[in-house]
Amino acid sequence: MRRARLALGGFAAAVVVTAGCTLPAFAPRTEGQGEAAAPGSAPTWRACPEVPDELVGRGASGMRYECARVLVPRNWGSGAPTGATAGPGTGETFEIALLRIRSNKQHDRIGSLVVNPGGPGASGVDTAVYLSFGSAFGGLPAAVTDRFDIVGFDPRGVARSSPVKCIPDADLDASFGYDPDPQSQAAFDGFVDLNRRIGQRCGDRYGDQLPLYGTEQAARDMDAVRAAVGDEKLTYLGYSYGTLLGATYAQLYPDRVRALVLDGAVDPQQKLIAGSESQAKGFERAFGNFHRWCAANAGRCPIAPDARGAVTAAIDKAKVSPVRGGDGREATAGWVFYAVISSLYTESGWQELALAIDQLQAGDPAGVFKLADAYAGREDDGHYSNLFDANLAVNCADETEKPSREQIRQLQSQWRQKYPLFGPALAVGMLGCVEWPGQRDPYPTGKAVGAPPIVVVGTTGDPATPYEQTAALASMLGVGRVLTWEGEGHTAYPQTACVTTAVDAYLISLTVPREGLRCPAR
Q: Encode burial over 451-470: b for 16+ CB neighbours within 10 A, e otherwise.
A: bbbbbbbbbbbbbbbbbebb
- How far from 39 is each of 76, 123, 170, 223, CA to CA, in Å? 12, 22, 38, 11
Q: How many Cβ atoms sit within 10 Å of the Cβ of residue 518?
A: 12
Q: Which residues are catalytic?
A: 240, 462, 490
Q: Which of 117, 90, 93 is nearest to 35 (CA)?
A: 93
Residue 150's H or E segment, with its range, is strand 148-153
- CA–CA distance, 241 with 265 (Å, rounded to integer): 8
Cβ neighbors of 334 (< 8 A, separation 6 or more) are: 175, 176, 177, 178, 179, 180
Residue 211, preceding peptide bond in cis (omega within 30° of 0): no
- CA–CA distance, 71 with 207 (Å, rounded to integer): 21
Per-position DSSP letters for 53-77, written without gaps between them = HHHHSSPPTTEEEEEEEEEEES--S
The dihedral through the CA atoms of 172, 178, 180, 184 has a sign that is: negative
Cβ neighbors of 413 (< 8 A, separation 6 or more) are: none
* Alpha helix positions (H), 377-466: 387-398, 405-418, 423-428, 431-434
Q: Which amino acid is at 231?
A: D
Q: What is the CA radius of gyration of the chain?
A: 21
The answer to whether 249 touches 227, Cβ cutoff 8 Å, is no
Q: Which amino acid is at 210?
A: L
